[in-house]
Amino acid sequence: MGLLLKQAYMLNHSGEQIVGDILVENGKITALEEQIADRGHREINCRNKWVFPGFIDVHVHLREPGFEAKETIESGTRAAARGGFTTIFCMPNTNPPLDQPELIKQVLNTAVREGVVHVHPIAAITKHQQGEELTDFFALKEAGAAALSDDGVGVQSSHMMKQAMIKAKLLGLPIVAHCEDDTLAAGGVVHEGAFSQRHGLPGIPSDSEYIHVGRDILLAEETGARYHVCHISAKESVRLVREGKQRGVKVTAEVAPHHLLLCDEDIPGPDPNFKMNPPLRSKTDQQAVVKGLVDGTIDVIATDHAPHTEEEKAQGMLKAPFGIVGLETAFPLLYTHLVKTGILSLAQLVEKMTVKPAEIFGLNKGRLGIGADADLTVVDLDLEQPIRPEHFLSKGRNTPFAGWICHGWPIATIVNGTVVWQAQASMV
């Protein structure tokens, strides 16, 4: 017996709306037609709902091992499923960092045992993420690492980054870079600008990001490595990526929902739920990343989901750790504030959360079609409700979007043909 999704809205290859049935059997889509006979299949009524390829998030912090009070692989993947994500990539800044093959295997085994969505671990570029000695890229890839990153810190040594790119290229692994020059950013907690000056807080200037972005694009050009910029936030970084692409450099970039929807003018006061790294930058920077997303300079949207405990975030703007959660709010926020406002089409938003991340990281996912993996997200674009952190499945409640009213909520998530999350009373 298969799973039959009835009368769903979908996007065809041209981005046009169609209506039809989807039959799922043995983890694959086996039929996609205007009408499919029941024949005893389990049926889900998707009338007036949309079915998209499962969303893919290439930047998530699952915190396990070492920081299980913030998040676990079990809680993080359930939060992902609630947000409509069927595949996530987890960053290596755990404790210990994911710099050994055994740790990569541990994450993969735990994800299979306790997780509900596909998990691809990203391994550390340098041992202990200290920027002093490269990890064993070959062994990490053999263990299942999908990419390499020292996310959370930037690789300060240009020589170290160049050697990393040379070795990563040989193995076909992308370098996924947190771009931050410590000598420029040290001690900052918010963007260096009007807000930091008004509240007497140490600032993080934009050049701390774009100096590394420019350096790394030149190194990628020289070495031929695949280079991906994490959570781009500064207008100069967008320009550098655009120019790099025009020269044929293998550079891609991601942007987080909060950098698309907020700037430092929106921070109501010294609230640590608005503290993240890179920080919310100026209005001009915000407009630049939106433009970069629309014109294709920025390839994908990634949440940079970074849960912390309430106690940690209650320490105030100076001491609280960087980061906010994002898995459970990304699509409704983006649909409400980018699609309903006419900045992006629905097809463009879905592409940047499915097709593009799959292409960049070499996944055979991100599409609806016969024979495709049955990783699917069912969304009610008409459903309107506020963001309620107290309802999150993530352990983290740290979001600046609490109380925002959004449309377009995922109501069911299907992984390998199995419903792994479904909103209560969402479908008859």
- Binding-site annotation: residue ranges for Zn(2+): 59, 61, 151, 178, 231, 304
Is residue 99 part of the annotated active site? The answer reads: no
Mark the binding-site residues for substrate, compressed into ranges: 61-63, 93, 277, 308, 322-323
Angle at 64 between CA 59 and CA 68, to 5 degrees: 120
Mark the binding-site residues, compressed into ranges: 59, 61-63, 93, 151, 178, 231, 277, 304, 308, 322-323
Question: What tokens does 85 get?
Answer: 């994500």
Distance CA 378, CA 19 (A): 13
Decide: helix, strand or coil at residue 182: helix
Catalytic one among 21, 150, 216, 304? 304
Distance CA 396, CA 393 (A): 8
Strand partners, 57: 88
Half-sphere exposure of 171 (CA within 13 A, CB side): 21
Distance CA 331, CA 262 (A): 15
SS3 sequence, 240-274? HHHHHHHCCCCEEEEECHHHHHCCHHHCCCCCHHH
Phi-psi region of 280 (alpha: psi -120 to 50; beta: other; left: phi over 0): beta
Distance CA 178, CA 427 (A): 41
Tell which residue, 390, 420, 428, has the closest CA to residue 85. Answer: 420
Please report, in angstroms and rounded to a whole number, the separation of the first and last CA atoms in the chain. Answer: 20
Q: Are 403 and 377 in contact (CB under 8 A)?
A: no
Residues listed for the chain: 428
Q: How far is CA 99 from the centre of its chain?
A: 21
Whole-number CA gyration radius for the chain: 21
Decide: helix, strand or coil at residue 86: strand
Q: Name the residue with tokens 């755990």.
A: 94
Helix 283-294 crosses helix 235-246 at what angle (to 10 degrees)? 30
Distance CA 244, CA 252 (A): 9
Active site residues: 304
